[in-house]
Amino acid sequence: MRPVEGSSTHRDAGRSTIVLAVAFVLIGVLIGGLISYAFNSLFIVSRIDELQNRLSNLEKRVSILQLTQNSSSGITYVLEGNFSLSQLYENVRDSIVLITGTVVNYDIFYRPYYSSSQGSGFVYKYKDQFVIVTNYHVVYNVRDITVRFRSGNTYPAVVKGADAYADLAVLSVNASLDEFKPLKIVSSSTLRVGDTVVAIGNPYGLAGSMSSGIVSALGRTISEDITGGYSIANCIQTTAPINPGNSGGPLLNLRGEVVGITTAIVSDSQGLGFAIPSNTILREIDSLVTKGTYDQHPWLGITGMDMTYDLASAMGVNVTYGWLIVGVTANGPAAKSGLQGGNRQIMIKGSRVTVGGDIVIGVNGTRITNGDDLLSFLEEYTLPNQTIILTIVRNNRIMDIPVTLGARPPLS
């Protein structure tokens, strides 16, 4: 048998091809592994850098906290505009006073028994004289009034002027001039809901106590026993904690300026207090100091209630906001202008309500949504003998009624 020529050569060529293929595969696997390793390495390096940056930032923050603790024995709270509460307190604390006195009551046999009264106040300079501004209810029916300054020195005081309708009083104290550190009173018109405010007073006799909060509402109306049934309008509502003894103390902005006088708390409430606005003080201070009273509170001579959806539905009217006039005082400003009160009673969810009166929805073009709006507008922007335009709804018709305001009658 003849051997086949070149068969050995062909076998060698086949083996070479297989070897090359395997080599290419191995090289490809190796290159792929290297590329994958490179990518993984880059990802790991990136993560390490990120973790190192986080650790570095954390170390810086810890260092800052340690420096703060080492450099100060206390914490300084800094609020809007870099105002420090601790610095504010240092600036105004000498202006706050403790007011004390004695209240005399009588039992059924007309035998006297005595109780103590206390509240707060602050120093104010009116023209060339120093006075103490406080709440009227702090000194109402109080004898032997004294004022204690932060120095500890205590002096007798007398009521120089008072206005029960605004719960304001001004005291005169015959003290050494160096005791008087007056505060500045600024307009409360600049206040906005959310502004930070500070109250300083003497709650429960704890002299010079400070609390802070925010303005939670404006234009509130409150009632107090001393006002003879009339409301105190345009008050500031605040979350700054107020307790018995705070009454008469200043409500301050973060510059240490007076924007109100803390006056009332709501029993069993959490963070709900009220203050007389500083605009009321600025409006009345001249009369209180020079005349001893203030008699320029506007008066309409009406009583009423806030409108609601239920009221509107029961009355068959198409307005669900405003102030429903329930009663009109005979010969009062509203009666002379032809305003109408309620004329019938209906039951709404188990309550008897007087309806049929005019619904006040505007004053001088300003929308009135409730009694707070109406009374606050009158107190802030009007005076007795001024003629205003009341916009009312009567029989589902909108009407403009001119009314010349009177003055609230003096309390007996």
Residues marked as catalytic: 137, 167, 247
Identify the residue whose tokens are 């009062």: 332
Residue keyed to tokens 């019938």: 344
Q: Contact at 8 Å (CB) between 304 and 318?
A: no
Angle ∠(100,227,338) on CA atoms, nearest 5: 165
Give residues with Cβ within 8 angstroms of 75, minimum separation 6.
none
- Name the residue among 189, 176, 187, 190 with its Cα closest to residue 123: 176
Q: Which two tokens stand for residue 21?
A: 């293929």
Residues in the chain: 412
Please give the single-letter amino acid code of residue 317. Answer: V
Please return the burial class of 262, using the count of CB atoms within 10 Å of its CB with bins 0-12, 13-18 and 19+. buried
Q: And the tokens for 187?
A: 């307009």
- Helices and strands per DSSP (H, E), number in the chain: 7, 24
| Cα–Cα nearest to 147, from 139, 354, 113 | 139
User: In the structure encoding, which two tokens stand for residue 317, read together?
Assistant: 């009217």
Residue with tokens 């107090």: 224
Cα separation values, 232 from 82, 165, 168, 272, Å: 35, 6, 11, 16
Which residues lie below 8 Å from residue 408, measured CB to CB, with a gap of 6+?
165, 230, 295, 297, 298, 299
Query: Residue for token digits 């003849």?
Result: 2
